[in-house]
Amino acid sequence: MKELFLKETFLESYKMWLWLSEHPDKHKSEYFKFIKFKGIVLNSCFFCEYSIIQAENNNIDNFCKICPAISFWAVTNDNKNKNHKEFIPCTLNESPYKKWAITEDNQEKSRLAKQIADYCQKEYNKILLLEHNKRIEK
Q: Is position 85 within any domain? A: yes
Range of the domain at 133: 6-137
Contact by Cβ (8 Å): 31, 16:
yes
Q: Is position 119 within any domain? A: yes
The pLDDT, as a whole number, for residue 81 is: 52
Q: Is position 18 within any domain? A: yes
Q: Is position 1 within any domain? A: no
Helical packing angle, 6-22 and 106-137, nearest 10°: 150
Q: Which of 19, 78, 77 is nearest to 46 (CA)?
A: 19
The pLDDT, as a whole number, for residue 77 is: 47
Q: What is the count of structural domains for the chain?
A: 1
CA 116/CA 121 separation, integer angstroms: 9
Q: What is the pLDDT of residues 5-61, one digit of tens each?
A: 999 999 999 999 999 999 999 999 999 999 999 999 999 999 999 998 888 656 666
- Within 40-105, residue ranges assigned H as helices are 46-54, 70-73, 96-102
Region of poorest pLDDT, from 42-46, 52-56, 115-119, 129-133: 52-56
Q: What is the pLDDT of residues 70-113, one digit of tens each?
A: 888 875 545 555 554 456 788 887 889 999 999 999 999 999 99
CA 85/CA 60 separation, integer angstroms: 9
The pLDDT, as a whole number, for residue 113 is: 98
The predicted model scores a pTM of 0.86
The pLDDT, as a whole number, for residue 115 is: 97
Q: Is position 54 within any domain? A: yes
CA 111/CA 102 separation, integer angstroms: 13
Q: Is position 38 within any domain? A: yes
Query: DSSP class of residue 29?
Result: H
The pLDDT, as a whole number, for residue 66 is: 86
Q: Is position 46 within any domain? A: yes
Q: Is position 129 within any domain? A: yes
Chain-centroid distance of CA 20 in Å reads: 13
